[in-house]
A and B are shown apart, each in its own frame.
Chain A
Amino acid sequence: MPDIQSFISSFIELMDIKILILMFFSTGLGVIIGALPGLTATMGIALLTGLTYNVPLEYTFTILMGVYVGAIYGGSISAILLNIPGTASAAATALDGHQLALQGKAETAIKVTRFASIIGTFIGVIALALLAPPLTKIALSFQSPEFFMLAFFGVLICGSIGAKDLTIKGWIAGMIGLLLAFVRLDDIESTSRFTFGNTNLLSGISVIPAMIGFYAIPEVIKAFTGNDKFTVNAARDKVKEKVSVLKITIKHLKTVIQSSLIGIGIGALPGVGEDVAAWVSYDTAKRTSKNKEKFGTGIYEGAIAPEVGNNAAIGGALIPMLTLAVPGSPPAAVLLGALTLHGIRPGPMIGIESPGFIGKMAALLMLSVIMLWAAGTLLANPMSKILKVPTVYLMPIVAALSVIGGFAINLSAFDLFIVFIFGVLGYLLDKMDYSPAPIVLGLILGNMIDVKFRTALITNNGSFLPFVVRPISAIFLAVILFTIVKQIMAARAASKETAA
């Protein structure tokens, strides 16, 4: 098992004081980012990708992984104390977590969700270390039709599952993303496409500035337009829990294992990510629980399930990102951009071009689990004070950071326009319930989808047969058609019901 060896040796290498300190502060920063309503894991990673452009690769990913893990957990703190999930992935946690806080068990609820997050991330690490290397070997047999189908399936499924309102809007969002990705100098013909004579667009729309715009600026605008006034519960128990956190978690071991598997599975689906993993874990736990009627009234099982699910999704999301260059979640999509910026090319060749890199990422994720325990414990009590920071002071600073982050990567003033335009577009689309995830995934994968599609046709002299004849491609095609037909049937049934 050379991959496990590389994981262990990478983990030992990480026992460097600088990396440990950096990981501790990054995880802590992630917890704060995740806990503050309006700041999300994706936004945090996107901003820091811009700001760490000059930092060596090892330190950059220490920071980014720490923020990723910290932010996904951090969302649960505000969900429990404020009933406002700091990140979308913690929305399900608020249902029972906040009820526990109202019952005077805020401190125990935070401890239980932290422990659940640690277990979830840990199981995600194991999945990453064990599943990614064999998947890379399988992916080596992929050719253009398989890559095309996989990436197209990713955008489609992300649109279907990630849709906030109608499924069709998820698909539209994915297609908008694809169209935006086509704005560039074409890789095959070397002709400019949809650039309208603007030379800045020849290399395509810069992904990181676009993502900063999409994820940060709408939150800044929404924070000012909203009238949210909330009360912060103290992170202390008014009612002492007789059973320890460990015993509470062990009591719900079935939910932990079930949610971990759901988290890894959904995390591995292209673009779907932690939010959906948390909701599906919560829903499954509710349906399979002996206490299903108590869900939503403040039970630990209801807080454990989404937290294990969303944190296990981190490891799951990194598997397709590293092995197939298809990100499993929006934060993983930003990480993909960050990897490319630092000269790492994710995909089937990663094991050959960057040997041991998957093990290194798994080791970083493992280290972040340990630091999450330390930083989470230290930040639990001050968090009720941090959450009181008024939006009016915080959000303009986020906007200023977005501008630096957007500029720093290419040192291009044009990227500032990208941040601004995508920010306003993101706000408008958010108002109309379009999810940003399919747009971003379309933007990231669009060029690959187009190039692989035409390469397959060129190689086969214009024949579409390879898309149907090659087994893996045919399976993806069947799943794509099934997804489309299923959605159309569901929409028809719904419209008939409305008419009746």
Chain B
Amino acid sequence: MEKKALRKADLVTSMILMGISITGFIMSLQLVIRTISRGKEWFESSGLFPMIVTFFLGLCAYSLFLTARRAGARLDFITKENMLFMTKTREFKVACIVIGLLAAYIMLLMLPGRLYAVVTFVYLLTSMLVFQKKTKKSVIHSIIIAAVATAVLAFGFGKLAMIPLP
């Protein structure tokens, strides 16, 4: 990411981090109050150290916010047009597809029944095919590689090496 874009991202991240640190600080404070209300000492509380860490996280996030502002980053880049443009970039689309496929793979593995080999083969084949030019050769290569990889994972790992499969 180029520096200018990075600082804009830093600006947004710093605000999210400030939100996390404030929420975390309040939750930690509640833990400290709960400990004291039980008649224990404040320094025994499980919220004590998180409270310190969230405080410093807030400070660091604020410092990042200032650094980004000084570098010229403003929130005015968050417009409908820019968001639409971002969703149309190749990187965004590819990242969404890869993450989506992985999410679907994990979800399908959690279904009841011993579907590991089928689901893995489908996942591998889809991932291999989705980003390459679909010629007869590439499809055959993908099917063979996905099948061999599935066999190694399901039989080699699962049965021979006794590694528990999802």
Residue among B43, B44, B54, B64 facing the most chain A CB atoms (10 A cut-off): B43
The interface residues of chain B lying within 8 Å CB-to-CB of A403 are 105-106, 109, 166
The interface residues of chain B lying within 8 Å CB-to-CB of A450 are 46, 49-50
CB distance from B59 to the nearest CB of A (A): 10
CB of B95 within 8 A of CB of A427, answer yes
Contact residues on B (Cβ < 8 Å of other chain), bracket: 35 or more
CB of B57 within 8 A of CB of A404, answer no
CB of A189 within 8 A of CB of B124, answer no
CB of B24 within 8 A of CB of A432, answer no
CB of B165 within 8 A of CB of A407, answer yes
CB distance from A133 to the nearest CB of B (A): 32
A175 and B60 CA atoms in complex are apart in Å by 10
Residues facing A in B33-66 (CB within 8 A) are 34-35, 40-50, 53-54, 56-57, 60-61, 63-64
CB of B61 within 8 A of CB of A193, answer no
A485 and B116 CA atoms in complex are apart in Å by 54
CB of A392 within 8 A of CB of B128, answer yes
The interface residues of chain B lying within 8 Å CB-to-CB of A399 are 102, 105, 123, 127
The interface residues of chain A lying within 8 Å CB-to-CB of B78 are none
**Nearest A residue (CB) for B150:** A400
Across chains A and B, the number of contacting residue pairs, with CB separation under 8 Å, is 168
CB of B53 within 8 A of CB of A178, answer yes
The interface residues of chain A lying within 8 Å CB-to-CB of B153 are 400-401, 404
**Nearest B residue (CB) for A411:** B164
The interface residues of chain A lying within 8 Å CB-to-CB of B166 are 403-404, 407, 413, 416
The interface residues of chain B lying within 8 Å CB-to-CB of A449 are 49
Contact of A122 with B by CB under 8 A: no
CB distance from A59 to the nearest CB of B (A): 12
**Nearest A residue (CB) for B126:** A396
Contact of B86 with A by CB under 8 A: no
Contact of A330 with B by CB under 8 A: no
CB of B47 within 8 A of CB of A193, answer yes
CB distance from A419 to the nearest CB of B (A): 8
CB distance from A173 to the nearest CB of B (A): 10
CB of A54 within 8 A of CB of B6, answer no
Contact of A221 with B by CB under 8 A: yes
A423-B102 contact, Cβ under 8 Å, with A416-B109, A453-B49: yes
Contact of B31 with A by CB under 8 A: yes
A54-B47 contact, Cβ under 8 Å, with A225-B94, A396-B123, A416-B110: no
CB of A165 within 8 A of CB of B6, answer yes
CB of B61 within 8 A of CB of A172, answer yes
CB of A432 within 8 A of CB of B50, answer no
Contact of B15 with A by CB under 8 A: no
CB of B6 within 8 A of CB of A217, answer no
The interface residues of chain B lying within 8 Å CB-to-CB of A224 are 94-95, 97-98, 131
CB of A188 within 8 A of CB of B46, answer yes
Contact of A142 with B by CB under 8 A: no
CB of A431 within 8 A of CB of B50, answer no
Contact of B44 among A217, A393, A454 (CB under 8 A): A454
CB distance from B63 to the nearest CB of A (A): 5
CB of A400 within 8 A of CB of B124, answer yes
Contact of B132 among A176, A392, A407, A495 (CB under 8 A): A392
The interface residues of chain A lying within 8 Å CB-to-CB of B1 are 431-433
A432 and B68 CA atoms in complex are apart in Å by 13
Residues facing A in B118-166 (CB within 8 A) are 120, 123-124, 127-128, 131-132, 141-142, 145-146, 149, 153, 157, 161-166
Residue pairs across A and B with Cβ atoms less than 8 A apart, 13 shown, are A172-B61, A179-B20, A189-B44, A224-B95, A399-B127, A400-B123, A416-B106, A416-B109, A424-B99, A432-B6, A454-B48, A462-B43, A491-B63
Leading 7 A-B pairs by shortest Cβ distance: A186-B46, A396-B127, A457-B43, A450-B49, A175-B57, A407-B166, A225-B94
